[in-house]
Structure 1
Amino acid sequence: MPFLQSLADLGPVVRMYLWRQPVYVLTSAQLVHRMLVRDSAKFEKGFVFDKARALLGNGLFTADAQTHLKHRRLVQPAFHRDRVAEYTELIIEQADDAVSSWSPGSLDARLRMGELSTDVVTTALFSTALTAEQKAIVVRALPAVLTGFIQRALYPHPVLEKVPLPTNRRFDAAVHDLRAVVDDIVARCAPEDSNVVSLLLAARDEHTGEGMDAVQVRDEVVSLLLAGAETSATTLTWLLYELARHPELQDEIRQEVASVTGGGSLQVDDVARLTRLGHALTETLRLHTPNWILMRRVIEPVEFDGTRLEPGAEILFSLSALHRDHAVFADPAKFDPDRWREGTVPRTSFMPFITGNRKCIGESFAWNEMVVIAASVVARWQLVLEPGCRVRENATSATVQAGGLKISVAPVAPVSVPRNISSVAPKCPMRTSDVDIQLQPTLVPGEGQGSR
């Protein structure tokens, strides 16, 4: 991470090598935004995603441009704002049940957020509940899959993929176990059911009339699990860490939740009124952007700041580095939710869900999921860092994990205040590409926190 941040001092376009592969790093948010939006037709996903496609299938997370657009149109109705509102009602129930069952003392935040995010995605999107064993498999497999495909993509020679190294064995086992769970999810769904899987099973291409086969549906379900469970769990873990570090902010959010709900249960419309929580989540997505490294490949000649790139050139960009640009963000290493009060950050400089034609299809779902879960936690528990806790960024996976995190929870007395229904939605720059983050569908074909 520090290395990627340091490249900005060398210019907006920096050439480096990954083994023998030359790669051009874009260190300017404006150039990255141009690549993803205005000039998106000149690029495809890079060699890392070529490798991921071979290993994980051709879902939205890894799909080539033609497949991505076709499948996105089939999946899009599942994320219409009315459907997201229905999902949010289920998320509220699940979060309430799960968080209220915790016990005082040490909390494995990464595990709990992984379990809860997995429950949310499988129940809301797939209308099925996993067994305890299946849930444990998914929570264990998703990080291993993300770590494994990045490592394999960076091997200097493909023959290393066949060597029985521990990392290869863990990855192969994780992919096998994850596909087994997903196959079970797909097998239990019928086209007439009301969920994402049934929608995929019933969907037909408007031009050819063709539908998806079982393998294609499985690939899409894997993509949605990677997006809706793993990246959300990672972000929530970092948010709990920051709240534990800032007890005064934690108290503010607790009071806000109580004010908005009147001390009662959270409602779907309340999500948009949790302004202070929205600021804290936005700042978490900035400072701890989960997907820290992404790639594209040039397919038409393009010029960036005087550097001409020919077809086949590989481009790398880091959202984590862009979101810590001191030219855009004052004191960028500081966790400061107040920076989002005025809404002055250019939307071209902040894109945690990506932008353009690969924008995260489940942005509204993910946002509501994380707000609801965080609100449920702070309403019931005081988060405290345990003595000796020293958190470090662990970027060995496709997502940046909070290594060394140790949190304890203690119950808090319920806050009883009159219900405030006059609050307005937070003005936060999650609204990139003119898409409302609250309960609006993503209306453009688009990658994201989840499908990058």
Structure 2
Amino acid sequence: MRSDTPPAAVPIAAPTVPGRIPLLGHLPQLALKRVAFLQSVRSHGAVVRIFLGNRPVFVLNSPEAVHDVLLKQSRKFGKGHLFDVARPFIGNGIITSEGDFHLRQRRALQPAFHRDSIAACVATMSGIAEEQVAAWQPGEVIAMDVVMRRMMTVMLVATLFGTERPDGAAAVAELGEHVAAHLTTVMRGVFVGTVLPAPVATSPVLGHRRYLAAAAALRDLADTAVREARRHPEDGGGLLSVMFAGTPGNPHGMTDTEARDELLSLLMAGAETTSASLSWALHELGRRPDIAGRIRAECVALPAGALPGAATLPFTERFLREVLRLHQPSWLLMRRALEPVRVCGVALPRGAELIYSALTMHRDPAWYPDPLRFDPDRWLGRTEKDLPPGAYVPFALGNRRCIGDHFAMTEMLVVVRAVVSRWRLRPAAGHRVRPVVQALIRPNALPMRVSPWPAG
């Protein structure tokens, strides 16, 4: 009897990228070339296999593969090795947690990231940005990468801990400064532990002790902040009060340990990633006075009380979208197959480790003509909806999409407006800005000279 059901497609094996070295695999290429290596493997297929030592890792190279893993079949995948490395040091917060616990925590945090809640934070964000930017002096050279990291940390901490007590506000500012001092060390340690074998990654030569000390200091700071918030519930407001509130899935609210872990996750994702993006944004403004002038005109014309967003600052929003395309800071993320699965016809076994790179996807000429050209107006002719799903993923997709995506965009719009409305930026003479690729991609340093805009 003839069946009308077509035969199932035969699964295929992922091709192995050339250049594998005995015992080391592709580890030297990834460790040394990093983004360039991941960019180079895109030509070998939608899903390819590399080896980190003897450990096979699959790299997702097509929008279809990324969309399949992050959205269509997301329940078949866990977080992966990178997050296993991070979990002992930043806890089991929304970045690292899995399954039902992750869903429960995400639902508990979600009210704090509704648009109305974020709108209520704009005055706090603007106040911090304006205060810091107003302190600069004409002709001064500002280390923008350092300033952005501190500003984003203080801004995030201030919105996490709503406080009306003077001593509480001072404690928030101090916490922000301490956190900023430790975050970069911890992020660097997570990257080293991800790409290198454990015996090498834990070597004192690679700064493992500094990593452990910074991670311990961050946990202590977060523990202290949570205890203080418990002791002063009269302050109200702030994200910690949301964490403590009961929900249908968790009527007693989060425990102190759970709140600490969520706090660390939000600091990692919010302060470090957003400050890196802002540093690249200011770098582009310094190189492109024509774009800076257009943004300034748009920001100065924003009516008092209007909230920053795509509707009110359309060119500035396109500018930031292009920053997140060309300078996506999260260049390497991972997933793990929880069961046997096929992705783009490639059979992956249970436990398979996967890598995807939003940065290399965002630089694919198939989707972005002349991809290394910085052009905010490319988004006028082709919006995100015109791209294949998975081709533009600055905040990931699906149930792992960054919970703070709108929060981060609002922060960046506020800061760019505060800077450009007051100051014209110029690169410092004699300094060449280079990307440093670790857990995130940051400028090696970003000294910029500030001067007032000419009158008229």
- Same-fold call, TM > 0.5? yes
Distance in 2, matches of 1:92 and 1:39, equals 40
1:97 aligns with 2:97: no
Partner of 2:10: none
Of the three residues 119, 122, 125, the one matched with 2:154 is 119
Structure 1: where are the runs of 5+ without partners? 416-452
Paired AA for residue 225 in structure 1 = L
Of 311, 317, 329, the residue aligned with 2:368 is 329
* Cα distance in 2 for residues equivalent to 1:81 and 1:6: 39
Taking the aligned partners of 1:83 and 1:253, their CA distance within structure 2 comes to 26
| Corresponding letter in the other structure for 2:241 | S
TM-score by length of 2: 0.85
* Cα distance in 2 for residues equivalent to 1:77 and 1:276: 29
| Offset at residue 400 of structure 1 (A) | 0.4
Counterpart Cα distance in 2 of 1:29 and 1:117 = 31
SS at match of 2:237: coil
Between the aligned residues of both structures, percent identity stands at 38
Q: Is the CA contact 1:271–1:372 (under 8 Å) kept in the aligned structure 2?
A: no
Pairwise CA distance, 1:132: 5.6
Corresponding residue for residue 151 of structure 1 = 192
Distance 1:331-1:161 versus aligned 2 partners, 3 A rule:
closer
| 8 A Cα contact 1:179 1:218, kept in partner | yes
1:410 aligns with 2:451: yes
Alpha-carbon offset, residue 277 of structure 1 = 0.7
Q: How does 1:324-403 map to 2 (within 5 A)?
A: 324-345=363-384, 346=387, 347-396=389-438, 398-403=439-444
Once the 2 structures are TM-superposed, how far is the Cα of residue 106 of structure 1 from its aligned partner?
0.8
Relative distance call for 1:119 and 1:239 in structure 2 (3 A) is: same
Quote the residue 1:296 is aligned against: 335
Q: CA deviation at 1:253?
A: 0.7
Instruction: Give 1 or 2 for the bigger CA radius of gyration.
Output: 2
One of 78, 83, 96 as aligned partner of 1:62: 96
| AA partner of residue 341 (structure 2) | V
Match of 2:291 in 1: 249
Say if 1:311 and 1:304 are closer, same or farther in 2 by CA, change over 3 A.
Answer: same
Contact 2:143 2:445 in 1 (8 A): no
Deviation at 1:163, TM superposition (A): 4.5
| SS of residue paired to 1:273 | coil
Residue 318 of structure 1 aligns to which amino acid in structure 2?
A: S
For residue 23 of structure 1, what is the amino acid of its counterpart?
V
Q: Which moved more, 1:355-364 or 1:399-408?
A: 399-408
Which has the larger displacement, 58-67 or 176-185? 176-185
Q: Cα–Cα, structure 1 residues 388 and 48, in superposed 2: closer, same or farther, change >3 Å? A: same
Runs of 5+ consecutive residues of structure 2 not aligned to the other structure: 1-34, 164-168
Structure 1 SS opposite 2:302: helix
> Which position in structure 1 is the counterpart of 2:28?
none
Q: Structure 1 stretch 233-242 or stretch 91-100: which is displaced more?
A: 91-100
- Taking structure 1 as reference, are residues 164 and 93 closer, same or farther at Cα in structure 2, changes over 3 Å only? same
Contact 2:104 2:249 in 1 (8 A): no
Number of residue-to-residue matches in the alignment: 409
Q: Which amino acid aligns with 1:6?
A: S
- Specify the alignment match of 1:172 in structure 2: 212
Secondary structure of the equivalent of 2:207? helix
**Shift, 1:307, TM fit:** 1.7
3-state DSSP of counterpart to 1:67: helix
In the aligned structure 1, how far is the partner of 2:411 from the partner of 2:315?
A: 16
Does structure 2 retain, via aligned residues, the 8 Å contact 1:295–1:317? yes
SS in 1 for 2:57: strand
Which residue of 345, 350, 355 corresponds with 1:316?
A: 355
d(CA) in 1 for partners of 2:62, 2:262: 32
Offset of residue 68 of structure 1:
1.1
Q: Contact 2:109/2:242 (CA < 8 Å) preserved in 1?
A: yes
Structure 1 counterpart of 2:69:
35
Q: Which amino acid aligns with 2:299?
A: V
Instruction: Report the CA distance between 1:374 and its aligned residue.
Output: 0.5
CA change 1:211–1:336 in 2 (3 A) is same
Q: Deviations over 1:237-280 (max 9, x none)?
A: 0000001010111011111112223xxx5632566311111111
| Secondary structure at the counterpart of residue 312 of structure 1 | coil
Please list the CA deviations of residues 270-297 of structure 1 after superposition, one character each: whole Å capped at 9, or x if unmatched. Answer: 6631111111100000001111100001
The two structures have a TM-score, normalised by structure 1, of 0.86
Instruction: Judge conservation of contact 1:382–1:410 (CA < 8 Å) in 2.
Output: yes
Deviates more, 1:92-101 or 1:315-324: 92-101
Please tell me the residue identity of whatever aligns with 1:361. Answer: I
**Contact 1:75–1:200, Cα closer than 8 Å, also in 2:** yes
Report the 3-state secondary structure (helix = DSSP H, G, I; strand = E; otherwise coil) of the residue aligned with 1:60: coil
Give secondary structure in 1 for the equivalent of 2:58.
Answer: strand
